[in-house]
Amino acid sequence: MKLRANLVIGGALFALAIVVGLLAPWLAHTDPVMDANLMNAEEPPSWTWWFGTDAQGRDIYSRVLYGARVSLTVGIVSQLINSVIGVALGLSAGYFGGWWDDVVNALTNLMLAIPSLIFALAIMAVLGPGLTSLLIALGLTNWSFTCRLARASALSLRSQGYVQAATVLGYGDVRIMITQLLPNMLGPIVVIGTLGMGSAVLSEAALSFLGLGVRPPFPSWGSMLSEAREQITTAPWLSIFPGLAIFLTVLGLNLLGDGLRDILDPQSRSRRT
Amino acid sequence: MTGSPLLEVEDLRIDLDDGLRRVAAAEGISFRINRGETFGLVGESGCGKSITALALIGLLRPPLSIGGGVIRFDGQEIQHLSAARQRQLRGNRIAMIFQEPMTALNPVSPVGRQIAEMFVLHKGKSWREANQLAVEALASVRVPAPERRVKDYPHQLSGGMRQRVMIAIALACGPDLLIADEPTTALDVTVQAEIIELMRNLCAERGTAILMISHDLGLVANVCRRVAVMYAGRIVEERGSADIFRAPSHPYTQGLVDSLPRLGSRAALGRSRLKEIAGVVPAITRFPDGCRFNPRCAQATDICRATAPQTEGLEAGGFVRCHHHA
Ligand SMILES: Nc1ncnc2c1ncn2[C@@H]1O[C@H](COP(=O)(O)OP(=O)(O)O)[C@@H](O)[C@H]1O
Ligand code: SF4
Ligand SMILES: [Mg+2]
């Protein structure tokens, strides 16, 4: 099989972000929070300070590394919550149909009608800032696409011979949904999930930028951008590096999603063989 | 209870309810199958064979439903059992394989796992034991190198191999009854014969009764001891299979027998179908009055168009449903 550029580049960028987050304590030059030193305030990038320093003299390079932890945790965990909710609702709605399908459809339409970031903002307003609130807010507000997709797949898979065969063999509904339907719709769900992770990273940045994310002084890319906005002309590196980190991570996830779609989509697969 | 028949169907009626009205898609269906017996259900496509099979395993779905009658399995009436109780019978005591070996297996699951699932589901085995049993089950349907094959995905197997896997799945739990609905229609002729032979041998070894459903009277009569002929939702004749060939009683059965290639002329099969029955099976909503076969029957008279014939016992055993039967 030919390796596709989007899959390789996307996968590499995402892997890089994960490695950076995991190895932050070893890769970082200084402690991202404690090592403030006003003597080094607002140093531009140099051999000593790779990405420069902020107004309190903290090393931006180290803070960007640690920031990956927040961004990726939020991206991965909140998207997992979304995927589980979306699959559970959509799959059961498509499989059972009837009133349950109507309920799920109404709920999905409601979610689609409200911009998810606004909805997340509302939840954050109730829960207050912090990592847990972020995970909950973003995890509960972006499942509608997954749900739609799972429902449509369940509807079309329901009439497949192997689903009917399973019924004939005495499988119960839950067993049919888990063994016959879910594995056969997993490809597109993973694609949507990967793209959703990208948008969760962006949403985290946006919410943190608005001061609703992880509490300072612990770094997240969004909160770093937020703190940097007053010095954007005087010390642009404060914005450039966290911005670049967000950009590359989201780009990586989108490329990865596209690449996965290319190999998982049966139509494009048959076109190549 | 070993003296009683395994399956007894009495006056079964299947309704089709399209929201406007309710019509009988099948009615007066009665037959019995003894333990270990092979019983055939024949008729052209659309006669109601498959819906009868679905009724037996409690899988009729709207707009179809059971409209009356009794289905007794192993002495117990099962037509009103709860969904959960019916599910315990399906796959465990009554198994079914059907036409499409290409689509009846889950494409993303190794075949061994699909066999093993039956032991986990119905016999409460651990996955470890079940996987071992799956290898044995695959060996029993004569799949070569079963311990390697269990890891294969359906697309790696030929149509015949897949149907073998389906048989392994169906027979995994040692059912009392195997319903085979056109099990070989999608396969080519040489493979067909192998699969039928395998199914018959395995069921004979294990004392599993077979309800064999097909449009092919030759195939059914070859496999089964007794045959019921179905036309437009009614059983029109039931006989021993040797009798049905030698002296078909119902004009429809005669038509089916005449349309079979004679022994020794199988080669002619592809070129000239001998004596097809003219016309087609009517749709459920267009069943004619009187005998439903009358528009296609050469022997039809006024009484055939006015009154539906009742079943009549035959001296040689079996029954027929025709005013002017032979
Ligand atoms: N789900 C259904 N809804 C409406 N009509 C059906 C349905 N399934 C089968 N039928 C009708 O019932 C009749 C018998 O069908 P079937 O049992 O599949 O025939 P066979 O198996 O003998 O070819 C046919 O006229 C068919 O059109
Ligand atoms: S009852 Fe009349 S129409 Fe029906 S099969 Fe017999 S002869 Fe033909
Ligand atoms: Mg059929």
Q: Where are the domains of chain A?
A: 5-25+78-272
Nearest-Cα distance to chain B for A169, in Å, is 4
- What one-character DSSP code corresponds to residue B173? T
User: d(Cα A29, Cα A26) in Å, to the nearest integer?
Assistant: 8
Task: Name the residue of B51, B182, B292 to mutate for ligand 1: max ligand atoms within 8 A of Cβ.
Answer: B51
Structure-block tokens of residue A259 = 């690449």
Pairs of residues, one from chain A and one from chain B, whose beta carbons lie less than 8 Å apart: 59
pLDDT by position in tens, chain A (length 273): 556 888 999 999 999 999 998 987 888 777 777 776 777 777 778 787 777 777 777 888 888 999 999 999 999 999 999 999 999 999 999 999 999 999 999 999 999 998 888 888 899 989 988 889 999 999 999 999 999 999 999 999 999 999 999 999 999 999 999 999 999 999 999 999 999 999 999 999 888 888 888 877 788 888 888 887 888 788 788 888 899 999 999 999 999 998 888 887 655 544 443
Q: Are B297 and B321 in contact (CB under 8 A)?
A: no
- Indicate the pairing of strand B226-231 with strand B38-42: parallel
Contact A183 B109 (CB under 8 A): yes
Contact B91 A161 (CB under 8 A): no
Long-range CB contacts for residues B310-314, cutoff 8 Å, separation at least 24: B311/B28, B314/B239, B314/B249
Q: What local confidence, expressed as pLDDT, does residue B139 receive?
A: 96
- What one-character DSSP code corresponds to residue A216? T
Sign of CA dihedral A212, A214, A215, A217: negative
Whole-complex ipTM: 0.85
Contact B106 A169 (CB under 8 A): no
Contact residues on chain A for B60, CB-CB shorter than 8 A: none
Task: Determine the topology of domain A5-25+78-272 in CATH.
Answer: MetI-like fold (1.10.3720)
